[in-house]
Chains A and B, each alone.
Chain A
Amino acid sequence: MSPTKLNLKDKYKLLTRDLDWEFSYEDRQEAFPYEEFEGIKITDWDKWEDPFRLTMDAYWKYQAEKEKKLYAIYDAFSQNNGHTNVTDARYVNAIKLFLTGVSPGEHAAHLGFAFTGRQMGGIGARVAAQMQSIDELRHIQTQIHAMSHYNKFFDGFDEFNHMHDRVWYLSVPKSFFEDARTAGPFEFMVAIGFSFEYVLTNLLFVPFMSGAAYNGDMATVTFGFSAQSDEARHMTLGLEIIKFLLEQHEDNVPIVQKWLDKWLWRGYRLLTLVAMMMDYMLPQKFMSWQEAWELYFEDAGGALFKDLERYGIKMPDYTETIKQEKEHLSHQAWWTFYQYTHAAAFHTWTPSSDEMDWLSEKYPNTFDKYYRPRWELAAEMEAKGERFYTTGLPQLCQTCQIPMMFTEVDDPSQVAYRESVYNDERFHFCSDPCKSIFDNEPEKYVHAWLPVHQILQGNCGGGGLDKVIEYYHLDNGAANLEFEGSPDAERWKQWKGVA
């Protein structure tokens, strides 16, 4: 008998839901030991609606086709010396930030979804999470390949993996994902699957991909297109998990609300890096951080939360705080990196007078009043041959691990300080939400590996800044420091025939 060809419906059933089985001699609770400790109640996994009707064989076929096209373009990009077509060598620092700060997050997401793809009790949810896990692995691989061409011509790329576990600002994304991955499967799904991939994803990927398009970086643009259909699936999975949890049991509502409050804040704090990239690092800018926040969070997120209201979910209380911060965030972040760039794997610079005018126009309430004077002072110091690099090491927030550079919401001239005492030990925070995240679960944050404290304990190469830079595998004098006069800048001038 010749093998019969299955119709789509049967095939779908066999390759997804049918992969599960009834447990006759093993205890289901032992097979899924992480399903209950978070307090989430699942009454019926059969109510799970598969967010996308994709079987594994179809998945492999699509992904393989996408890869083939992607790598053909990478090859062409290399052969045509695509790196010389970007707007300016300063642009490349944005993708150094991407490779060091974002790509390892793809890998962390891969591990996290592999965990939930094993631990959730429902087969539909498991299959979807497993596909996302493989997507995320593909993302980090294709990103590394996209950047590998730049690595041949610019400093700061080659040790991204080594740096991820060590460098002070990279502990921000690293600890963000580790916080999520050390939670239970449902918190992870709400943290990364929903809050990050659904609510905030447009504030991460659109800025980097549009930034690449506006600045002639075809390799990164092509990666972005190739990831787009994956991201669409990730978004539907994120939305399904939230609806499923809220519909399964009313006791889940306050738990999910607490997670949303936590993870939207943590994700937002992480996006500080994107804010400064958009406003300061792109030679050709396409939109301000404030505009992006209004479009993708206030408008789109607002509509989403309206939709979730019927489950009893509300917008986190601190969204007013974020509204105030949107006019300050990027300026404070770039100022911080500007003065600590001796310990960073990318270059910084003072904005040009044209760029300052753009910033004044985009931030009429804040730039001239609070931030232009900083850049004027920086320029004065630079003119005297004293380019400003700050001494010492910053105080970090125990929760988000960002230097405590954020100002009071009602007083942008004053840095905010928040503190908690837990078991007779003081802990410090950048903001009320970071403090309340800690206060809710102090045991999760007391053993945070804060880079500054580790340096001062002698755990990062021993004494002196030089040792720390060595420990970071930071190519001192090449990968770090001011952009003007850097080897990157000098090579660029040579290629462009500028003296």
Chain B
Amino acid sequence: MTVQALRNDYHGDFKDSVDKFGGAQLVYIGWDKHQLFCSSRAFPLLPTMTFQELLDNVMPEAFSQHPEFGRVVWERAEWILDNQSFQPDHSKTLAELGIGHKSVLRLVTPNLTGYKGADV
């Protein structure tokens, strides 16, 4: 049973389907073991954006407050997309790379251990 309701055909409309974001799709972006940021954050991004554009424009907006941000070597960064490890071609678009609506994209930088090495 998908819900305990008076009517068996009860259906709650999806409030956050991709058609409601004006052409953009939501992508959640987090930086593993960098807990200055308490959680991943939600960004409405065009599916036609390339990964390189995401690195150039979205990542600084999201993470440049962190003292280690300038030390990220993007060519060597590791990624997790929707719980799978992921090697993006920077010239491809989000859509081409399979970064979809409500995907979770996580940056992993094993050499950077956060403020005072405490994963902050």
Residues of chain A touching chain B, judged by Cβ–Cβ distance below 8 Å, are 33-34, 37-39, 183-184, 187, 332, 335-336, 339-340, 369-370, 373-374, 376-377, 386, 388, 390-395, 403-405, 413-415, 417, 419, 423, 425-428, 441-450, 452-453, 456-458
Are A417 and B83 CB-contacts (below 8 A) given A336-B38, A394-B39? Answer: yes
A395→B40 contact, CB < 8 A: yes
A453-B61 CB under 8 A given contacts A37-B6, A404-B40: no
Give complex CA distance A395, B65 in Å: 18
Question: Contact at A374–B35, with CB atoms within 8 Å?
Answer: yes
On whether the beta carbons of B15 and A414 are closer than 8 Å, the reply is no
Smallest beta-carbon distance B85→chain A, Å: 14
Verify B4–A392 contact, CB threshold 8 A: no
- The answer to whether the Cβ of B78 comes within 8 Å of any Cβ in the partner chain is no
In whole Å, how far is A330's beta carbon from the nearest beta carbon of chain B?
13
B119 / chain A contacts, CB cutoff of 8 Å: 370, 413-414
Partner of B104, one of A414, A417, A456: A417
Q: Closest approach, in angstroms, between the C-beta of A80 and any C-beta of chain B?
A: 41
Q: How large is the interface on B (under 10, 10 to 19, 20 to 34, 35 or more residues)?
A: 35 or more
Q: Which of B2, B4, B30, B62 lies at the interface centre, i.e. has the most chain A CB atoms within 10 A of its CB?
A: B4
A413 touching B42 by the CB < 8 A rule?
A: no
| Contact status A419-B61, CB under 8 Å | no
Q: Taking each of A184, A187, A390, which has the highest tally of chain B beta carbons within 10 Å of its own beta carbon?
A: A390
Q: Which of B20-28, B46-54, B86-94 contacts A (4 or more CB under 8 A)?
A: B20-28
Residue of A nearest to B41 (CB): A392
CA distance A184 to B4 in the complex (A): 8
Indicate if the CB atoms of A376 and B116 lie closer than 8 Å: yes
Rounded to whole Å, the gap between the CB of A35 and the closest CB of chain B is 11
Cβ contact within 8 Å between B4 and A394: no
Kindly list chain B residues whose C-beta atoms are within 8 Å of the C-beta of A393: 41-42
Within 8 Å CB of A428, what residues of B? 28, 102, 104
**A-B contacts, 8 listed (Cβ < 8 Å):** A34-B6, A374-B120, A377-B115, A388-B36, A443-B10, A444-B12, A450-B15, A458-B22
In the assembled complex, how far is the CB of residue B109 from the closest CB belonging to chain A, in whole angstroms? Answer: 13
- Any chain A CB within 8 A of the CB of B118? yes
Known: A415-B35, A415-B40. A453 touches B104 (CB 8 A): no
Which residues of chain B come closer than 8 Å to A450, judged between CB atoms? 15-16
Which residues of chain B are near A448, meaning CB under 8 Å?
A: 15
- The listed residue (B4, B16, B20, B44) touching A38 by CB distance below 8 A is B4
Which residues does chain B contribute within 8 Å of A390, judged by CB atoms? 37-38, 41, 65
> Which B57-92 residues have C-beta < 8 A from chain A?
61-62, 65, 67, 82-83
B16 smallest CB distance to A (angstroms): 5
Given contacts A377-B36, A441-B3, contact A447 B15 (CB under 8 A): yes
Q: Determine if A443 and B2 form an interchain contact, defined as CB atoms under 8 angstroms apart.
A: yes
In the complex, the chain A residue whose C-beta lies closest to that of B62 is A392
Q: Is B43 a contact of A441 with CB atoms below 8 Å? A: no
Closest CB in chain B relative to A422 CB, distance in Å: 8
Kindly state the separation between the CA atoms of A335 and B106 in the bound complex, as whole angstroms. 20
C-alpha spacing A450/B118, complex, angstroms: 32
B10 cross-chain contacts in A, Cβ below 8 A: 443
Q: Which residues of B contact A391 (CB under 8 A)?
A: 41, 61-62, 65
Which residues of B sit under 8 angstroms from A447, Cβ to Cβ? 12-15
Which residue in chain B gives the minimum CB-CB distance to A373? B118
Chain A residues in 8 Å Cβ range of B12: 443-447
Query: Which residues of A are found within 8 Å of B33, using beta-carbon distances?
Result: 413-414
* Residue pair B38, A339 in contact (C-beta under 8 Å): yes
B10 to chain A, nearest CB (A): 6
Shortest CB-to-CB span from B108 to chain A, Å, is 10
Q: For B26, what are the chain A residues with a Cβ–Cβ distance below 8 Å?
A: 453, 456
By a CB distance below 8 angstroms, the chain B residues around A392 are 41-43, 61-62
Q: Are B4 and A183 in contact (CB under 8 A)?
A: yes
Given B30, B101, B102, which contacts A415 in the complex, CB threshold below 8 Å?
B30
Q: Of all chain B residues, which has the CB nearest A386?
A: B65
State the Cβ distance, B21 to closest chain A Cβ, in Å: 6
The answer to whether B101 and A332 have CB atoms under 8 Å apart is no
- The winner among B21, B39, B104 for most chain A CB atoms within 10 A is B39
How far, in whole Å, are A413 and B82 apart by their CA atoms in the complex? 19
Chain B nearest CB, measured from A2 CB (Å): 52
Q: Which residue of A lies closest to B12 (CB)?
A: A447
Complex Cα gap A394–B14 (Å)? 20
- Shortest CB-to-CB span from A385 to chain B, Å, is 13
Cross-chain contact B21 with A456 (CB below 8 angstroms): yes
* Cβ–Cβ < 8 Å partners of A425 in chain B: 14, 16-17, 101-102
> CB distance B40 to A394 under 8 Å?
yes
B83 to chain A, nearest CB (A): 7
Known: A391-B61, A413-B33. 10 other contacts (CB 8 A): A332-B38, A373-B118, A388-B65, A415-B30, A442-B2, A444-B4, A446-B13, A456-B26, A456-B42, A457-B21
